[in-house]
Amino acid sequence: MERITAKELPKGWFDTMLNTEGYLKKAGIDQMIYHLVKFRASVINGCGYCMDMHAKEAAKDGETAQRLYLSQVWREATCFTPAEAAALHLTEALTAIDQSDLESAYTHASEHFSKAEIANLVLLICQINSWNRIAITFGYEPGSYKG
């Protein structure tokens, strides 16, 4: 089946997504947390294109492959800061919409982040979930991201 291409999107559609990205990049989110959140949500959603993209971008910014692999088992791994673990916890609860864990994840996040920082983390998690759904729906090819 032929999918929608970027050229076929309604005018302003892609710009809206990029405007949110621009906001998030200036929001003061720790760079490693930014990458871990995007990578972890992409794994949960099974978005190969975004996993590839965010692994490459994280590596370019100094993240290690080992930490990306271990982000899947962040509860057992000792290589994450308490704030990174809290961000990963919130990412899992919001990406999988696990209401049974949301209270715990929010409480965990509030121990390490201000209300404004939590709001920005929530927006980051929502944004990557949107990108994952876009990439999957439009058939973006995993491994093709060039950065």
Give the largest Cα separation in the chain, rounded: 47
Q: Note whether residue 4 is domain-resident.
A: no
Residue 85 falls within a domain, yes or no?
yes
What is the mean predicted confidence (pLDDT) over 42-62?
Answer: 97
In a domain, 13, yes or no: no
Is 67 within a domain? yes
| pLDDT tens figures, 55-111 | 999 999 999 999 999 999 999 999 999 999 999 999 999 999 878 899 999 999 999
Domain membership flag for residue 145: no
pLDDT of residue 98: 78
Unique residue bearing structure tokens 């950065």: 147
Domain residues for the domain of 61 are: 30-137
* Number of folded domains that form the chain: 1
d(CA 116, CA 54): 24
Does residue 18 lie within any of the structural domains?
Answer: no
Residue 9 resides in a domain: no
Domain at 47, CATH number: 1.20.1290.10
The vertex-56 CA angle with 54 and 61, nearest 5°, equals 90
pLDDT of residue 41: 98
| Whole-number pLDDT of residue 85 | 98
